Amino acid sequence: MMNIFTDYDEELFFKFTLSPEKGLAEVEWLEHDEFPPLSPRKAIACSKLALENMLAKFRVAEDARFGECALSCTNDMWYYIVTWFVWPQEPGDMSSIRVPVYLNGQVPSYEVFDYQSRAEAWKT
């Protein structure tokens, strides 16, 4: 079963498609394992690369500031949600963008939409 994870800031809308086939591929966090197979630091690094790619057409993400890294679970699939604070294109306040990262270090497939056109995200 596919799950949709969305986030937005003042200008953009992000739609991630979480897939158990991809999220559970090559790695398993067993019930008796104390720690997840991917460290938070690696998840943060993976999410930063994805964030830079996500924003490449819209603005610079190099100066993004790390916010937090948290574990989340949907339908028995564990993943990290990494929060970044980024500047808008126009002068203004920083806003947060959350990027999910599977425990195998991959970022789910995503699409980026103009915030004004966010209804289009649900047509794809």
Find tokens 């943060």 and name the residue. 44
Output the pTM of the full model: 0.90
Indicate the SS3 state at residue 123.
Answer: helix
Query: Which residue would you say has higher pLDDT here, 51 or 9?
Result: 51
- CA 84 to each of CA 33, 47, 77, 95, 99: distance values in angstroms, whole numbers, following the listed order: 28, 9, 22, 8, 8
pLDDT digits (tens, 9 = 90+) for 58-110: 877 778 999 999 999 988 889 999 999 998 877 778 899 999 999 999 999 99
- Domain range summary for the chain, segments of one domain joined by +: 3-25+35-123
Least confident of 21-35, 38-52, 90-104, 106-120: 21-35
- Mean of the per-residue pLDDT values for the chain? 89
Burial of 85 (0-12, 13-18, 19+ CB in 10 A): middle
Q: How many CA atoms lie within 13 A of 96 on its CB side?
A: 11
Task: Report the pLDDT value the prediction gives residue 1, as an integer from 0 to 100.
Answer: 67
User: What percentage of the chain has pLDDT greater than the value 90?
Assistant: 54
